[in-house]
A = this chain, B = another copy of it.
């Protein structure tokens, strides 16, 4: 089944884009990591590299929508949703060992190519988190401001963790964020 082969390849493709950026991800790398020859790659993704990137962005968008944004919007207990966001984020980014593909695309020229998707990814995150904060009792303006700060902080934490070669920097950032998003709850004495 083509659908299966395609979807099976996406995580591998995502890692290559994540580590090398859009331009740096060559078909040779993509094929090797996915375990597919050029023929199979182009059979699964007739649109070539651009379609691979689109598919990867689709998958990421879906993952975040399902696991993070939707709970933030709909979970009856907003604090639980925020806690979940923090722990899912920590897992997803492998505690700082993994970069954010969307963030990496945003910084380099990949931005022009995928500007809409990139903007949507971050805007959706901000809006979903702001809604959760609103439901948790924050005023409209404070909720929006705090949400933007949180999403921005996560990106900054990833940059810094990678730059310093110190994934723990990401964990420290998440701990600070927890204290700010859910004040009054005792933070775990960090690992």
Bound-complex Cα distance A156 to B2 (A): 39
For the side of the interface on A, what is the size category? 35 or more
Whether A86 sits at the interface, judged by CB under 8 Å, is no
Whether A74 sits at the interface, judged by CB under 8 Å, is no
Query: Binary interface profile of A, 74-111, with partner B (CB < 8 Å = 1, else 0)?
Result: 00000000000000000000000001101110111101
A157 surroundings in chain B (CB, below 8 A)? 152, 156
Bound-complex Cα distance A169 to B99 (A): 21
Bound-complex Cα distance A19 to B112 (A): 10
Bound-complex Cα distance A111 to B158 (A): 13
Whether A44 sits at the interface, judged by CB under 8 Å, is no
Known: A23-B24, A24-B24, A173-B149. A163 touches B108 (CB 8 A): no
Whether A48 sits at the interface, judged by CB under 8 Å, is no
Contact call A159/B21, Cβ cutoff below 8 A? no
Q: When the two chains form the complex, which single residue of B20, B23, B156, B164 contacts A159, counting CB atoms closer than 8 Å?
A: B156
A45 surroundings in chain B (CB, below 8 A)? none
Known: A20-B23, A21-B23, A109-B24. A160 touches B164 (CB 8 A): no
Which of A5-13, A34-42, A53-61, A113-121 lies at the interface with chain B? A113-121
A70 surroundings in chain B (CB, below 8 A)? none
Q: Smallest distance from the beta carbon of A171 to chain B beta carbons, Å?
A: 12
Q: When the two chains form the complex, which single residue of B107, B160, B165 contacts A104, counting CB atoms closer than 8 Å?
A: B107
Query: Binary interface profile of A, 145-184, with partner B (CB < 8 Å = 1, else 0)?
Result: 1001101111111111011110001001100100000000
Q: When the two chains form the complex, which single residue of B24, B103, B164, B173 contacts A163, counting CB atoms closer than 8 Å?
A: B103
Query: Binary interface profile of A, 14-49, with partner B (CB < 8 Å = 1, else 0)?
Result: 000001110110000000000000000000000000
A/B interface sample: 5 pairs, CB < 8 A: A23-B23, A103-B163, A104-B107, A115-B165, A148-B160
